[in-house]
Structure formats: C-alpha cells, structure tokens
Amino acid sequence: MAKYLLKRLLQSVVTILLIVSVVFLLMRLMPTDYYFSEDELMKLTEDQKQSRLEAEGLLDPPLVQLGNFLVRLSRFDLGTSRRIQTNKPVVDVIGSRFGVSMRIGLTALGIALVIGVVLGVLQARFKGHAIDHVGTGYTVFINAVPTLVSYSLVLIFGARVLGLPSLYSVRKVQQSSILPIACLTLTSIAGYMLWTRRYMVDELNKDYIRLAKLKGLNDRQVMFRHVLKNAFVPLAQYLPYSVLMTVGGSLLVEKFFSVPGMGPLLTDAISRYDTNVVQGCVLLYATLGVVGVLLGDLLMVLVDPRISLSGKGEVR
C-alpha cells in the first residue's frame, strides 16, 4: 500500500516537473526584450539591458537556466512578475487571483454536484417519463451548444430580466458573482446529470439487479441499496479531477465577466510574455491535474473492493 502510494507520488512529481520544464524551455525561445517591463524597455540602454540579463543569468545556455530554475523551485521561489504586476513575487500574484477563482469555482461546484447528481438519479429512476425527457433535452442543449452561447443567454436573462450586474466588480463582489457562478453551475450540472444517468442506467441493466429484484426488493430498495453506490464508482474516478479543475477557475467565464481570477491571468501573462507568471500558472495547473488523477485512482480503491493497490493500468 505505502509502496504503491510512494510510487504513484513519485510518478506524479516527475510528470509535473517534465511539463514545467518543457514550458520553461519553450519560453526561452522568446526575444530577451520580454524580460523587461514596458517602462524599463524605454529607459534602459542596450548595455544596461545586457548587464542586467547577465547578472540574472538569463544569457546562460537554456539547460543551465532550467537547472537554476528547478533549484529555485525547490525553495518555492518562482521569481517575480515582470510585467503584470512589476516586481511582485509570482506566488503573491497567483495567490490573490487564485482566491477569487476558488471562491467562484467551489460555490458553483457545490451547487452543481448536488443538483446534477440528484437530477441524474431522478432521470434514471423515471427513465422514459417526462422528467427524463426534459433532463435529456437540457443536457443535449448544454453539451452541444458552445458555452459562449449559453453564457450569453444567461447574461441576457440575468442582466435584462433580473437586473444583475453584467460585469464582475470588486465593489459589489457578492452581487456581481451571481452570474459567473450561475453560468458555471448551469453548464456543469448538465455534465453531472448526463454521467449520473448513464451510469445508473448501465447498472440497472446488470444481472445482479435482476437477482436483487428476484429477492423481492422493491424498486426503491433496489435503487438505494444497490444501484446508487455502484453507479457512483465510475463517477468517483473523474470527480477529483473535475473538482480541482473547477477550482482552478474557468477561463471563459472569468474572461466573459471580467473576473480577476486565474483564467485571465494565464492568457494575460502569456500574451504579455511575463515568463515567471506563465511558469507559475503552468505549475499550478499541472499540479492540480496530476493530483486530481491521483486522487481519482485512490478514491476508486476506497469505493471498489475489487481494486487492490498492487498496480493497474495507468490509462483511464
């Protein structure tokens, strides 16, 4: 057990480092001018720039720079932001944004998970009835139509009919968070509904359900004692990943409502070539992703007695 955990953890760390290194090297392909803020670029002379770069080791061969970067990383030193918030440590820049994203993401996730799973269960329970058809219509719409369109619809309804603010504002945090949260919730509900229903229906068609009915259990007992937990198992594996990714913030929602969260930070950082911030963001996302997968596998072990921790296929 411990051995397996250790192995998986090590694998995860290696994956994260690999991803970060690749991105780091990619960023070294850029012209060196981007290592300066816009102000500095105008003030400093060529010589001054050169000496600054040399002093910071930015003219070393890329692999040497990578080595230095990894050493600093081991001390959780990600450097400072150069352009987004000049000279502020990257950890702080990300930290403040991450808080905003997490608040919105977690709220939306909590609501969506509860409503989505409940609706999915109801759909499976009343398969073929009106509730199932309405639910299926909803999931088809959300899954098929581009999120941008659904967000626009939510925005029109929210802003026009309910009079909610159409953009995020730091002064009216709660009120202006409603629409972004609603967008995230409404779209992820569809996902949870779809999968819950599908897994429930899969389980309902299995032989052991027939035996449970033959025992004389009624539909409700079969549902609660046998189907629910079994349908949750395949869901369990993806759950941590999707939770962590939601927490990481939705690029599109945040951009759409101008929420100062993680999503826009990443695109801004890349488009303004703020290398240290880019690396910080990538590190964060890679960690969330890898940890999500790891937690999913561990959760499976907890809920499914058939899986032991002695190693299994890595592909999900």
Partner 1 sequence: MSKQNKIKSVQELEQPVVDLSIDYNTVDQEPKKERPRGREYPQSRSRMPEKQLFEFAEYKASDAERTGYSNYSYWKSVWQNFLRNKPAVIMSVVFILLFIFTFVSPLISKYTVESIRIDYDRMFTSPNSEFWFGTDNMGRDYWCQVWFATRTSILLAVLVAVGEIILGTVIGLLWGYVRKLDRFFTELYNFVNNVPTIIYMTLIALMVGKSFLIMALAMIFFNWLATARNVRNLVLMYRDREYNLASRCLGTSVGSILARNILPYLISVIILRLALAIPGTIAYETTLTYLGLMDVSRPSLGILLRNARSFFLDYPYLLVFPAGIVSIITITFYLVGNAFSDACDPRNHV
Partner 2 sequence: MSEAMKQTVDFDARARQVLSQVPLLSARDVEVTFSLRGNKLTAIRRASLDLYEGETLAIVGESGSGKSVFTKCFVGMLDKNGSITHGSIQYDGQELTQLSEKEWLKIRGKKIAMVTQDPMTSLNPLKTVGYQIQEAVELHQGLRGRAAKEETLRILEAVGISDAARRYKQYPHEFSGGMRQRVVIAIAVACRPQILICDEPTTALDVTIQAQILDLIRRLQKEQNMTIIYITHDLGVVANVADRVAVMYAGQVIEIGMANEIFFDPWHPYTWALLSALPQLGVKGEKLPAIDGTPPNLFNKIQGDAFAPRNKHALNIDFLEEPPMYEVTATHQVKAWLRDPRAPKVDQPQSIARLAESKTETGTDPNAYHPHLDPNRETLIQVKNMQVTFGTGRKKFVAVDDVNFEIYKGETFALVGESGSGKTTIGRALVRINPITGGEVYLNGQKINGKISKEQDLKVIRSCQMIFQDPMASLNERAKVDYIVSEGLINHHLYKNEAEREEKVQKALEEVGLLPEFSSRFPHEFSGGQRQRIGIARALIMEPQFIVADEPISALDVSIRAQVLNLLNDLKKKRGLTYMFIAHDLSVVRFISDRIAVIHKGRIVELAEAEELFFHPLHPYTRALLSAVPNPNPYVERSKQLMVYDPDVHDYSVDKPIWNEILPDHFVYGNERELDGYRKELGL
| Residues at the site binding partner 1, with contacts judged by CB under 8 A | 15, 18-19, 23, 26, 29-30, 140-141, 143-149, 152-153, 155-156, 159-160, 166, 245, 248, 251-252, 255-256, 266-267, 270-271, 273, 281-282, 285-286, 289-290, 293, 313-315
Q: How far is the CB of 219 from partner 1 (least distance, A)?
A: 23
What is d(CA 193, CA 45) in angstroms, rounded to the nearest whole number?
60
The listed partner (partner 1, partner 2, none) that binds 157, CB under 5 to 8 Å by sort, is none
Among partner 1, partner 2, none, the one that 172 touches (CB under a kind-dependent 5 to 8 A) is: none
DSSP H stretches of helix in 168-223: 173-204, 207-214, 219-221
Q: What number of chain residues touch partner 2 (CB under 8 A)?
A: 22
CA distance 313 to 150: 37
Which of partner 2, partner 1, none sits in contact with 207, Cβ below 5 to 8 A by type? partner 2
Q: In this structure, are residues 222 and 209 in contact, taking their beta carbons and an 8 Å threshold?
A: yes
Given partner 1, partner 2, none, residue 289, with its beta carbon under 5 to 8 Å by kind, binds: partner 1
**Rounded to 5°, angle at Cα 256 from 265 and 245:** 55
Which partner, partner 2, partner 1, none, binds residue 226 by CB below 5 to 8 Å per kind?
Answer: partner 2
Examine residue 233 and tell whether it contacts partner 2 (CB under 8 A): yes
Q: Which is nearer to partner 2, 23 or 233 (CB)?
A: 233
Out of partner 1, partner 2, none, what residue 267 binds, judged by CB under 5 to 8 A for its kind, is partner 1
Lookup result for tokens 């919730």? 185
Residue type, 124: A
Comparing CB distances to partner 1, the nearer of 111 and 245 is 245
Q: What are phi and psi of 60, to 5 degrees?
A: -65, 160
Is the Cβ of residue 43 or residue 215 nearer to partner 2 in the bound state?
215
305 binds, among partner 1, partner 2, none (CB under 5 to 8 A by kind): partner 2
Give dist(CA 68, CA 59) in Å, integer: 12
Report 178-207 residues binding partner 2 (CB under 8 A). 206-207
For residue 34, give the DSSP letter.
G
Alpha helices in the chain (DSSP H): 2-27, 38-43, 46-55, 62-74, 90-125, 130-144, 147-156, 173-204, 207-214, 219-221, 228-247, 251-256, 262-271, 275-303
Per-residue x/- track, 280-309, partner 2 (CB under 8 A): -----------------------xxxx---
CB of 206 to partner 2, least distance (A): 7
CB neighbours of residue 214 within 10 Å: 8
179, 258 in Cβ contact below 8 A?
A: no
47, amino acid identity:
D
The reply to whether 226 sits near partner 2 by the rule CB under 8 A is yes
- Which of the residues 40 through 79 are near partner 2 (CB under 8 A)? none
Nearest approach, Cβ of 167 to partner 1 (angstroms)? 10
Q: Which of 212, 239, 291, 300 binds partner 2 (CB under 8 A)?
A: 212
Indicate the SS3 state at residue 280.
Answer: helix
Nearer of residues 133 and 229 to partner 2, judged by Cβ: 229
Please name the residues in contact with 182: beta carbons below 8 A apart, sequence gap of 6 or more: 154, 158
Residues of this chain that interact with partner 2 (CB under 8 A) are 206-208, 210-219, 225-226, 229-230, 233, 303-306
